[in-house]
A and B are shown apart, each in its own frame.
Chain A
Amino acid sequence: MSVICVDKLTRDYGGGKGVFDLSFRVEEGEVFGFLGPNGAGKTTTIRHLMGFIRPKSGSCTIGGVDCFAGRSEIQRNLGYIPGEISFFDDMTGTEFLAFLAGYRKLGKDHRAGEMLERFELDPKGKIRKMSKGMKQKLGIVAAFMHDPQILILDEPTSGLDPLMQSRFVELVEQEKRRGKTLLLSSHMFEEVERTCDRVGIIRQGKLVDVDSVEALRARHVRTYRVTLDSEQTAQAFARDFGGTCDGRTVTLRARQRLEDIFMHYYGGDGK
């Protein structure tokens, strides 16, 4: 069953900005990656899904409910990380989480404590004084604390260090195993590759391709096998170039940058 349905969604901001005739579906229990460069229309699509703005034409539904008309109903079971975190600056992180628990009427039964531990976040300080990464962690905690069935995450790892990015990937995997449906936007292929089942590639407001991660990987990631003179050299080589070492043989994967993938779709018109 499709949880998130976007059907011929169009919103023209003028000057080529916006989304045009966008259609895709996210199935229940699936992690869907929404991949595209800055300004491609990822956030615009998410604004529609969140019920912040009304579609000019086309429709989008979550669980069969219209995203604009039924937004407060949908929000009961939805977690959201905004692309640009902006919380109440005057509060401390602790106050903010307590505020959210009260505002959403969660009572004491929520996962904020567990999430804080997972991301090693001390929420005692004022949000205004927090670094970008700390605010991002607080955003993750806020999105997951009410244990929602559906998660819409707009560039969720921006500002996180690699260790915390891995923790986040683990969290996504765990939630997926628990049957959650996730839509995750990103402009980094690696991030999407590590977490998603299927990927939709958006460019200039149009969906260019929707495919499984394996298919995309097969198309865009080439693998090389190199045999070296000695095991020691092979190990050093593997370490330096991020490959895996097996005896004297090192396997390397060439990662393509997103621009290169777009080059593929537009035959050199990668602007």
Chain B
Amino acid sequence: MINATLYRREMKGSVKLLLILAAVITLYVSVIIGMYEPEMMATLDSFYAVMPELMASVGMRAGATSLIGFMISYLYGFILLIFPMLFCILRGNGLIAKYVDNGSMATLVAAPVRRSTIAFTQMSVLLSGIVLLVAYSTALELALAMTGFPGELAAGELLTLNAGLLCLHLFIGGICFLSSCLFSETRTSLAFGAGIPALMYVLQMLANAAEDAKAARYFSLFTLFDANGLVAGESRALLGMFALLLGAVALYAAAIAIFSKKDLHL
């Protein structure tokens, strides 16, 4: 099912990107959690009073009083959505479509290794990267909250929240990977693999910013990730999380099936 040699090579190919993204996430998460102060809250609330649309479009709301509410407002609207998404887009394309486009896929298929094994291995590389990024973010958040504000953060709430975040990114990764398996050119693979998630993020921003654009949320998969609902333990939010997970499984299964059957003009 999985080719260990290929997996090792591709994980090595992910390291640099993972390190860069982890560094960016470290920077933002530590700065934002470090900003959690009652006085600071007042300042941010005053920003919100001046430019509510702009703040809301990136998921930031006024009156986030608890530490986790504060984190949801300032981390889960932009930073923890965009950076793992960037990983999905770049690696999703790089793992299949790039090799088909530049011809090096010939090396992989001209060997006694099933196409389904090749696709499954490449998928595992993508999933490993996503899991690593979310797991790292979780550990970082926990460590910073525990040292900076002992007793302020309920670990259970954060784990539920990040399980939802993981499902969202697995789904986004699924879109990128399907696009990569479907198209034989990097250009088209990126157009769909990056275009669809980016468009949905913009729709989400619109829906957050303007009352009139609320309907836009029905066209965005980001809606299924309801951070506040997950922390509150709402069943609707949990349902959304499982919908994302199921959708992700379907996307990866479709991607592997398509890659196994398609014509490769190598």
Is A86 an interface position by the 8 A CB rule?
yes
Q: Which residue of A lies closest to B4 (CB)?
A: A102
Chain A 63-107 interface 0/1 with B at a Cβ cutoff of 8 Å (1 = within): 000000001110110101010101111100000000110111000
Contact across chains for A50 and B9 when beta carbons are under 8 A apart? no
- Docked complex: B103-122 residues within 8 A CB-CB of A: 103-104, 106-115
- Please, which residues of chain B bring their CB within 8 A of the CB of A53? 263-265
Which residue on chain B has the smallest CB distance to residue A85? B103
Q: In this complex, what residue of A is CB-closest to B117?
A: A72
The docked-state distance in angstroms from the alpha carbon of A100 to that of B264 is: 20
Chain A minimum-CB-distance residue to B264: A52
Q: Which residues of B contact A103 (CB under 8 A)?
A: 3, 5-6, 108, 111, 113
CB-CB under 8 A from A52, the residues of chain B are 106, 109, 263-266
Most buried by A among B110, B115, B265: B110
Using a CB-CB cutoff of 8 Å, which residues 1-44 of chain B contact chain A?
3-6, 9, 13
Complex formed: what's the CA distance from A3 to B9 in Å? 35
Is there a chain A Cβ closer than 8 Å to B65's Cβ? no
Q: How many pairs of A and B residues are in contact by the CB < 8 Å rule?
A: 63
A25 at the interface (CB under 8 A from B): no
Among A51, A52, A53, A78, residue most surrounded by chain B Cβ atoms (within 10 Å): A52
| Interface contact B112-A73, CB-CB below 8 Å | yes
Q: Does A206 contact B (CB under 8 A)?
A: no
Name the contact of A72 in the complex, choosing from B5, B113, B265 (C-beta under 8 A): B113
Check: B102 CB closer than 8 A to any chain A CB: yes
| Residue in contact with B103 in the complex, picked from A82, A90, A100, CB distance below 8 Å | A82
Residues on B with beta carbons closer than 8 Å to the beta carbon of A126: none
Say if the beta carbon of A47 comes within 8 Å of chain B: yes
In the bound complex, how far is the Cα of B113 from the Cα of A76, in angstroms?
A: 9
The tally of residues in A whose CB lies under 8 Å from a CB in B reads 26
Contact with B along A26-68 (1 / 0, CB 8 A): 0000000000000000000001001111100000000000000
Given the known A-B contacts A82-B266, A86-B102, are A99 and B114 also in contact in the complex, defined by CB atoms under 8 Å?
Answer: no
* Nearest B-chain residue to A80, judged by Cβ: B110
- Which residues from chain A contact B106 at a C-beta distance below 8 Å? 52, 80, 82, 86
Tally of contact residues, B, Cβ under 8 A: 23
Most chain A C-beta atoms within 10 Å of own C-beta, residue among B3, B5, B102, B114: B5
Cβ B6 vs Cβ A75 within 8 A = no
Nearest Cβ in chain A — how far from B70, in angstroms? 42
CB-based nearest B residue for A86: B103
A88 to B10, CA, bound (A): 11
Enumerate chain B residues within 8 angstroms of A82, measured Cβ to Cβ: 103, 106, 110, 266
- Chain A residues within an 8 Å CB radius of B6: 103
Of residues 91 to 135 in B, which have CB atoms within 8 Å of A's CB atoms? 102-104, 106-115
B3 to chain A, nearest CB (A): 6
A236-267 at interface with B (beta carbon < 8 Å): none
Chain B residues whose CB sits within 8 angstroms of the CB of A99 once the complex forms: 5, 9
A100 & B263 in contact (Cβ 8 Å cutoff): no
Known A54-B263, A103-B5, A103-B6: A86·B109 in contact at CB below 8 Å:
no
Question: In the complex, are the beta carbons of A87 and B107 less than 8 A apart?
Answer: yes
Chain A residue at minimum C-beta to C-beta distance from B13: A90
- List the B side residues contacting A75 at CB < 8 Å: 110-113
Contacts of A73 in B (CB 8 A): 112
CB of B103 within 8 A of CB of A72, answer no
B209-266 residues at the A interface, CB under 8 angstroms: 263-266
Residue contact B265 to A47, C-beta cutoff 8 Å: yes
Which A positions have Cβ atoms within 8 angstroms of B? 47, 50-54, 71-73, 75-76, 78, 80, 82, 84, 86-90, 99-100, 102-104, 142
A-B contact pairs, 30 of them (CB 8 A): A47-B264, A47-B265, A47-B266, A50-B110, A52-B106, A52-B109, A52-B264, A52-B266, A53-B264, A53-B265, A54-B263, A71-B109, A72-B112, A72-B113, A75-B110, A75-B112, A75-B113, A76-B112, A80-B106, A80-B110, A82-B103, A82-B106, A82-B110, A82-B266, A86-B103, A86-B106, A87-B107, A100-B107, A103-B3, A142-B107
Given A47-B264, A73-B112, A84-B103; 11 other pairs, CB 8 A cutoff: A47-B265, A47-B266, A53-B264, A53-B265, A72-B112, A75-B111, A86-B107, A88-B107, A102-B4, A103-B6, A103-B111
Interface residues of B (CB under 8 A from A): 3-6, 9, 13, 102-104, 106-115, 263-266
The 3 A-B residue pairs with the shortest CB-CB distance in the complex, in nearest-first order: A86-B103, A102-B5, A76-B112
